[in-house]
Structure 1
Amino acid sequence: MTKNSPSVTAAPDTAWLARGRHLGPEPELDVRRNLIALKAAGVLDDFVELDPVEAARSTVLYPRDASADPGPSARRLFEARWRVDDEVTVRAQLTTYDPESRRKDGEGVLWVLAAEAERAWDAHWLSPATIFWPDSDLVPWDHDLVSDVRLRAVNYLPKDDDEVRHRLRDVTRQGWYVHVVVHEAMTPDPKGERPVSSHLPPSLRHRVVEHRGTPEQAQILDFAMKRELKLRVPRGGAVVLPVLPATPSGPAYDADRFTVRNVFLDGSEPTELLDRIKEFAALSRPLPEAAEQALTRLRQGWHLLTPEEELAHAQAMVTQYAEALDAMTASRDQYREAAETAQSALADATRGEGLPGLPALPGIPGVSGKGQAKSGGLLRGTFSKAFGRSRDAEK
């Protein structure tokens, strides 16, 4: 990494991160209903819903810093805990936000989801998205921040070549999802209209966004890809897009490796493309700034503790405060000893006459200049020795 390159944090392999927009009328109600149903079904260990201000509040038992604050535009905060493979605990936090511009119609409610497991994430585990959101086409929670892009659908590219370039530019600079461009060699039947991501394991399904070009867009798509990303899309093929801007510390993107020459959109599994998607998703990726903040809030601002975790936390806080009190007591004792030593030195130097005797030295009758200088030197030596003993005592 060069000196001028910004510091980039890699996404940990234990984390699952996503964000999007909910365009329906009551997003928090959709989340609440889904969590209640999953807990009743035994899928969840527990969940909690919090007011963002209360969630960020710091107390003596639960001190929290600014990293636990989701910000002034946060609406609600939800936490859920569940287990996978019978023993691995997953903790997840979803926060809903007011839209950035209230005057823009149809912008919807923003949401950010951060989940982390006790070990490296397995793509076959439950998708955290469907822990909070119902996996139903009737609930429009899966809209990306890029306009006209959804997570669970085939996103056909715009007809205009400039708009295609803008779309490619926007999605490759987001960093939250794996984006795939597929070109149709011919118009598919209803089975081929299903998104490729429907063949992926559950936890990977909602991390992949598919963009598709129609048969007549072959030249427009190839030109836009070459112009924006310096990549080529084979007719009837597909490309897994890189994350831009590339970082010097990240793995090099191999265009040939993530290009598939033929994709058959007939309802069968496009095995080669699925393998390339899984391989790309497993690579180390830069962590977007907003994703890093969400992961920090999950770790530093977690509320849904088990009884065992509550007890361990309380014991740890008692130990921490006891150590702080011991340190304060030791410091107080050291300062008292230093003050007593200084007072003793002062008494020795002034022969018990205190501070008023010091300024009178130049006017002592019968004492010559040499005597006064000698007395001053004697006082300085006495104080030096005394304060030397004081420093040794503090050490």
Structure 2
Amino acid sequence: MPSSPTARPMTPPTVWLARGRHAGSAAEEVVWTCLKRHKDDGGIDDFHEPAEAQSEGERVFEARWRIEDSVTVRARLTVSDGQAWVLAAEAERPWDPRWPSPAALFWPQDSDADWDHEPVTGGRLRDLNPLPEDDKAVRRLLKDAARDGWTVHVVVHEAMTTDQRGRIPLAGMLPTGLRHRVVEHRAAPHQLRVVNWALRDRGVEVPRGGAVVLPGSPAPADYDATAFSVRSVFLDGSEPAELIAAVARFAALPRPLPEGAEEAVTALREQWRLLTLEEELARERALVAMYVDALEAMTKSRDLYREAAEQAHEALAAYRESAGALPEQRPGPESPLQQLTRTFGRLKDTALALRPGTDAARVQEPSGRRTDAD
């Protein structure tokens, strides 16, 4: 079931996100070497591998630099299993696509560097990617691309077979902040029908000899396929200004955070360890203030408990004193009803004693009365 745009929080305007896969070996060493070179050259202020953030199968790198000498950028790269990577960066003000790409500071920009594979389709971020010849593979790839919320996927149709001038990747012409967030898919002249058949469920169509920016998932609320399609793209080595403008407009749309990005942004903000001296002092002051508040709360609770215990002891002592001062309770005089009940009890006992067969004295016959025996 596709996610709605309101299912996830929106991407903050200050945040830059990207992910990929390193196809080579020793990804951690590649990142460390690149960061060390940029620090030595003054490209970044500092970088760090926080020991508490490392785990089996995952390495974390933090880097901090300044843009325009006044805007601080903090970035956090996580490399999992030596292959997949996620990069989240945040600036002190809304991100400008003309700023340098954070990926260019963590990864080398050599043409043979093998870190820029997009994990959903396998395409390269810095190159153009011809669609496969098999129709089923084309449909599967484009359906996956249309659902990807991390990367901007662009499909370009070649109206005719191009020469070397038409094979220049779009990435190198984009603003620097977008170069590692876009994947360009190239459809051969005969593939237009299968491409549009694969995209029809998304309400997207590629014009013949043109291009379209795929919506991703969740799609931006303001996405309109017609507004992000280009009728014609001249693949003659010239800059496709209309297509570049469409990509830039799409990237600027408010978009929900893609799946897994919320965790990356949270880790960047809450688990950041690469602090300046001023930030360290501010953090320690905040910790001291927190401890002082906690101590005051504990002291107040202790005083309240002591006061309540003293009041309870005082109440108990007052109760004991009042109980000792009460006069001894003596039985009062019997009521007439009690006396009458006791009298009836004695009469009952006497009547039982005079019954025949008891040991009590029997009543004698009068002495003057004779019997038949006489």
Pick the TM interval, shorter chain. Answer: 0.7 to 0.9
**SS of 1:281's equivalent?**
helix
Q: Structure 1 residue 349: deviation in Å?
A: 2.3
AA partner of residue 244 (structure 1): S
Give TM-score, length-normalised by structure 1. Answer: 0.78
Identify the residue that residue 204 of structure 2 maps to in structure 1. 231
In the alignment, does 2:131 pair up with 1:157? yes
Residue 77 (structure 1) shift: 1.1
Query: Matched residues in 1 for 2:78 and 2:190: separation?
Result: 41
State whether residues 123 and 129 of structure 2, in contact with CA within 8 Å, keep that contact through their aligned partners in structure 1: yes
Give per-residue Cα distances to partners, 1:87-121, cap 9 Å, x unaligned: 100000111111xxxxxxxxx61111110000011
Structure 1 residue 12, shift from structure 2 partner = 0.6
- Whether 1:243 and 2:213 are equivalent positions in the alignment is no
Amino acid at match of 2:208: R
Tell me if the contact between 2:121 and 2:145 (Cα under 8 Å) persists in the aligned partners.
no
Which of 73, 76, 83 is residue 93 of structure 1 equivalent to? 76
* Structure 1: gaps (5+ residues): 57-71, 99-107, 369-395
Q: CA deviation at 1:352?
A: 7.4
- Aligned partner of 1:323 in structure 2 is 293
Q: How large is the Cα RMSD of the aligned pairs?
A: 2.1
Can you list the C-alpha shifts for 1:185-232, whole angstroms capped at 9, x where unaligned?
A: 111121211221211111111111111100111211122222x32221
Match of 2:242 among 272, 296, 302: 272
Summarize deviations over 1:62-84 as a string: whole Å, max 9, x none.
xxxxxxxxxx5542111111000
Distance 2:57 2:73 in 1: 23
1:115/1:128 contact within 8 Å kept: yes
CA contact (8 A) 2:5 2:256 kept: no
The within-5 A match list for 1:1-395 is: 7-51=7-51, 54-55=52-53, 74-98=57-81, 109-226=83-200, 228-246=201-219, 250-351=220-321, 366=330
Q: CA deviation at 1:165?
A: 2.0
Structure 1 residues 341, 280: CA separation in 2 closer, same or farther (over 3 Å shift)? Answer: same
What secondary structure sits across from 1:20 in the alignment? strand
Counterpart amino acid of residue 309 in structure 1: E
2 CA distance for matches of 1:150 and 1:331?
Answer: 62
How many residues in Structure 1 have an aligned counterpart in Structure 2? 327
Specify whether residues 365 and 352 from structure 1 end up closer, same or farther in structure 2 by C-alpha distance, changes over 3 A only.
closer
**Structure 1 CA distance for aligned equivalents of residues 142 and 192 of structure 2:** 15
Rg bigger for which structure? Answer: 2
In the alignment, is the contact (CA less than 8 A) between 1:74 and 1:95 conserved in 2? no
Query: Aligned equivalents of 1:94 and 1:123: distance in 2?
Result: 19
What is the one-letter code of the residue matched to 1:292?
E
Find the aligned partners of 1:157 and 1:316 in 2 and give their Cα distance: 55
> Aligned partner of 1:18: which letter?
A
Q: Distance in 2 between matches of 1:231 and 1:264?
A: 21
How far off its partner does 1:305 sit?
Answer: 0.5
- The secondary structure found in structure 1 opposite 2:16 is strand
Counterpart residue type for residue 55 of structure 1: A
TM-score of the aligned structures, taking structure 2 as reference length:
0.83
Q: Find the aligned partners of 2:126 and 2:177 in 1 and give their Cα distance.
A: 13
1:194/1:352 CA distance change after superposition, 3 Å = farther
Relative to 1, partners in 2 of residues 1:331 and 1:289: Cα closer, same or farther, differing over 3 Å? farther
Distance 1:92 1:244 in 2: 24
- Any unmatched runs of 5+ in structure 2? 333-374
2:95 and 2:56 map into 1 onto residues whose CA distance is: 30
CA distance in 1, matches of 2:145, 2:291: 48
Q: Deviations over 1:306-352 (max 9, x none)?
A: 11111111111111111110111011111111111122122222327
Q: Shift in Å at residue 365 of structure 1?
A: 5.5
Q: How many Å separate the matches in 1 of 2:47 and 2:106?
A: 10
Cα deviation for residue 55 of structure 1 reads 2.6
Aligned to 1:81, the other structure's residue is in SS state strand
In structure 2, C-alpha distance between the alignment counterparts of 1:274 and 1:262, rounded to whole Å: 13
Provide the secondary structure at the position in 2 that maps to 1:34: helix
Identity rate, percent: 54
In 1: Cα distance, 2:85 partner to 2:309 partner:
59
State the alpha-carbon separation in 2 of the partners of residues 367 and 110 from structure 1: 95
Which amino acid is 2:290 matched to?
Q
Deviation >4 Å, runs of 4+:
none
**1:219 and 1:55 mapped to 2: Cα distance?**
49
The residue type paired with residue 30 of structure 1 is: V
Shift of 1:271: 0.6
- The equivalent residue for 1:102 is none
Aligned residue for 2:186, secondary structure, equals: strand
Q: C-alpha separation between the residues in 2 aligned to 1:49 and 1:5?
A: 35
Q: Say which SS state the counterpart of residue 162 (structure 2) adopts.
A: coil
Residue-by-residue CA offset, 1:233-275 (whole Å, 9 max, x unaligned): 11100011102244xxx52321111111000111111011111
